[in-house]
Amino acid sequence: MTRFFRAPPRIPTRADIDAVLRVTDSDDHARDHLLVAVAAGTGLRVHELVALDWEQLVTGVGAVRRRVHLRAEDTKGNVGGDVVLNEALRWKVARSRTWCVRRGHAVDGSAPVFVSRSKSHRRLSVRMAQEAWKAVQGLAGGPRRTFA
């Protein structure tokens, strides 16, 4: 008897991520650029990414944190934890925050880091984040890879 199993998901390679980051390095794709950069740099799952608030990334005086604390209710298994942002990611977070301020988005307290492009600026859903990943992969070309 022959058994057929589903193929494992193809994980994005460093070259795939670099291609996407090059394509999204513009004001039109600033949110998506940060989304991909934080996902690649920290290894966070998509539901953990969209649950991030500005207070987790930025201190009260506007400095980007080196260590980001993840709330237990936002992580898999409700365990919480911390992730470290390297220098390049901290620079991208600061640049994204400046971009959000220029656009009139809320960037303090419990305001979400990743928001929709609609006028309501609601928190980005997991499905919308997956669609954003799919869209920027289409711009970058290459094979379709999954987004954690």
The predicted-structure confidence for 54-83, as pLDDT tens digits, reads as follows 999 999 888 999 999 999 999 888 998 999
Highest average pLDDT, of 34-38, 115-119, 136-140, comes from 34-38
Q: Does pLDDT of 34 surpass 60? A: yes
pLDDT at 147 (0 to 100): 56
- Residue scoring higher pLDDT (3 or 48): 48
- Residue scoring higher pLDDT (147 or 63): 63
Kindly state whether residue 4 falls inside one of the protein's structural domains: no
* 3-state DSSP assignment of residue 143: coil
pTM equals: 0.79
Domain span including residue 102: 26-140
Number of domains, the chain = 1
Kindly state whether residue 5 falls inside one of the protein's structural domains: no
